[in-house]
């Protein structure tokens, strides 16, 4: 089969590799119909994730059909159309039992790390992928949900919802600010509405992304490159500060911004993946009674999000800006890698 193989920092190729085989009785093999590229894949390619070693097939998002089933798999069969979750879940360890799939203790990849695809085991940017713990890590798809909609639920929507909106404890009437209107921030914006946020303020450096954020439910937008951005956000809250500040960029400055705009008693939900040291100003924040949360997505809300997509309550398909076929994989990376110029949000690649 062909797959997108990491060759070390700065190197990747769409190349011939051996087909995956069933290794454990709980595995299935999925033939990928639709996949996409995540910002994390770009981090890997820069060499920021040393656990990913040369030869690894990248990708942790995908939709496809089952072609082979391990001997102990009972609720999935050949031909089933499935969503592949970015997080493995053995379903039986103590962390899986409480829905903390991000820390699944199953041995696959590494015990205690839920994100394994395109990281510690071969990923979904391939014609075929082996899925461990398939009964718990795959979701059968209804016909009414398109591949493009579904693939946004592998990572982006659960991440924005669980780590942004749920950890941020958004409640009816809240003013919510989302810093970073990339795919993850837009997913947080779209799902903040589910809890009845009164205002959802999108904050980004990129005017194009701010414009896009309105399609996902942002009620107000603030350009953070503007020297008066802070006053603008405060003016939208009558000077009180926002109830929930969601950080969806992953740099020290934007985390600090979130702590500056949150009201006393409010929540700062960090979603961004930080590669650099970040300062938490406890000397200023302790007296503000704020809650700070962070985490790796669990994907335990995937079945619920899938229902909302099915009932057209979540505009998942709007995330797709560019479409490619497998033989154009390198072009897809190029377009996604130059998002500021190409206005790419999510690029989908199909067989
Ligand atoms: N916690 C998790 O489980 C998890 C899962 C997936 C992704 N992530 C992380 O979520 C973050 C967002 O992911 P994404 O795919 O949407 O990323 P992205 O790079 O596509 O989007 C980031 C957005 O932030 C904006 N931005 C950059 N600097 C800014 C600044 N100073 N002020 C305001 N906006 C600024 C960019 O213009 C862009 O629109 C990343 O850090 C990613 O690694 C976390
Ligand atoms: Zn991802
Ligand atoms: Zn587990």
User: What are 258-314's pLDDT values in tens digits?
Assistant: 999 999 999 999 999 988 899 999 999 999 999 999 999 999 999 999 999 999 999
Average pLDDT over residues 326-339: 97
Ligand 1 near 150 CB (within 6 A): no
* Res. 9: pLDDT tops 90: yes
CA distances from 31 to 62, 129, 271 (A): 10, 7, 31
Residue 199: how many other CB atoms lie within 10 Å: 17
Strands 242-247 and 175-179, sheet pairing: parallel
Q: Ligand 1 centroid to 268 CA: how many Å?
A: 15
Average pLDDT over residues 4-28: 98
Query: pLDDT exceeding 90 applies to what percent of the chain?
Result: 98
CA distances from 79 to 19, 56, 71, 142 (A): 18, 27, 16, 13
pLDDT of residue 319: 97
Question: Where are the domains positioned within the chain?
Answer: 2-155+299-350, 160-294
Cα four-point dihedral sign 30, 102, 90, 77 = negative
CATH architecture of the domain 2-155+299-350 equals Alpha-Beta Complex (3.90)
Residue of the nearest CA to atom 11 in ligand 1? Answer: 272
pLDDT of residue 292: 98
Closest ligand 1 atom number to CA of residue 183? 16
Residue 289: how many other CB atoms lie within 10 Å: 10
Query: pLDDT exceeding 70 applies to what percent of the chain?
Result: 100
Judged by its nearest atom, the ligand closest to the C-alpha of residue 212 is 1
Average pLDDT over residues 307-331: 97
Average pLDDT over residues 178-191: 98
Q: How far is CA 225 from the centre of its chain?
A: 25
Q: Ligand 1 centroid to 161 CA: how many Å?
A: 14
Closest ligand 1 atom number to CA of residue 181? 39
User: What are 225-241's pLDDT values in tens digits?
Assistant: 999 999 999 999 999 99
The pTM (predicted TM-score) of the whole model is 0.97
- Contact predicate 139/302, CB 8 Å: yes
User: What are 27-86's pLDDT values in tens digits?
Assistant: 999 999 999 999 999 999 999 899 999 999 999 999 999 999 999 999 999 999 999 999
Ligand 1 near 37 CB (within 6 A): no
Closest ligand 1 atom number to CA of residue 38? 15
CATH of 160-294, one of 1.10.3720.10, 3.40.30.10, 3.40.50.720, 3.30.1440.10: 3.40.50.720
Question: What 8-state DSSP symbol labels residue 25?
Answer: T
Ligand 1 near 248 CB (within 6 A): yes
Please state, in angstroms and rounded to a whole number, the distance separating the CA atoms of residues 210 and 272. Answer: 18
pLDDT of residue 48: 85
């Amino acid at each position: 089969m062909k797959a997108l193989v990491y060759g070390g920092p700065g190197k990747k190729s769409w190349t011939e590799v051996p087909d995956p085989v069933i290794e454990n009785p709980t595995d299935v093999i999925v033939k990928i119909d639709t996949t996409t590229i995540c910002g994390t894949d770009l981090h890997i390619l820069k060499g920021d994730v040393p656990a990913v070693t040369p030869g690894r097939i990248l990708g942790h998002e995908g939709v496809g059909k089952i072609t082979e089933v391990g001997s102990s798999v009972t609720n999935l069969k050949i031909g089933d159309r499935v969503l592949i979750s970015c997080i493995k879940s053995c379903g039986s360890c103590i962390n899986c039992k409480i829905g903390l799939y991000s820390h699944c203790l199953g041995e696959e990849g590494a015990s205690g790390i839920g994100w394994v695809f395109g990281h510690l085991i071969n990923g979904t940017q391939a014609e075929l992928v082996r899925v461990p713990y398939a009964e718990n890590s795959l979701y059968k798809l209804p016909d009414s949900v398109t591949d493009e909609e579904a693939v946004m639920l592998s990572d982006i929507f659960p991440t924005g919802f669980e780590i942004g909106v749920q950890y941020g404890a958004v409640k009816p009437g809240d003013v919510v600010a989302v810093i970073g209107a990339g795919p993850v921030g837009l997913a947080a914006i779209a799902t903040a509405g589910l809890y009845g946020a009164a205002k959802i303020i999108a904050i980004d450096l990129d005017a194009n992304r701010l414009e896009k954020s309105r399609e996902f439910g942002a009620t107000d937008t603030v350009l953070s490159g503007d020297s008066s951005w802070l006053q603008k956000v405060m003016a939208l809250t009558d000077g009180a500060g926002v109830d929930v500040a969601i950080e969806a960029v992953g740099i020290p400055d934007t985390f600090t911004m979130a702590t500056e705009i949150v009201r006393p008693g409010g929540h700062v939900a960090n979603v961004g993946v930080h590669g650099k040291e970040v300062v938490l100003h406890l000397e200023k924040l302790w007296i503000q009674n704020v809650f700070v949360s962070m985490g790796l997505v669990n994907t335990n809300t995937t079945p619920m999000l899938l229902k909302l997509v099915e009932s057209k309550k979540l505009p998942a398909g709007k995330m797709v800006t560019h479409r490619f076929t497998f033989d154009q994989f390198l072009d897809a990376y190029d377009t996604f890698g130059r998002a500021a110029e190409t206005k790419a949000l999510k690029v989908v690649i199909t067989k």
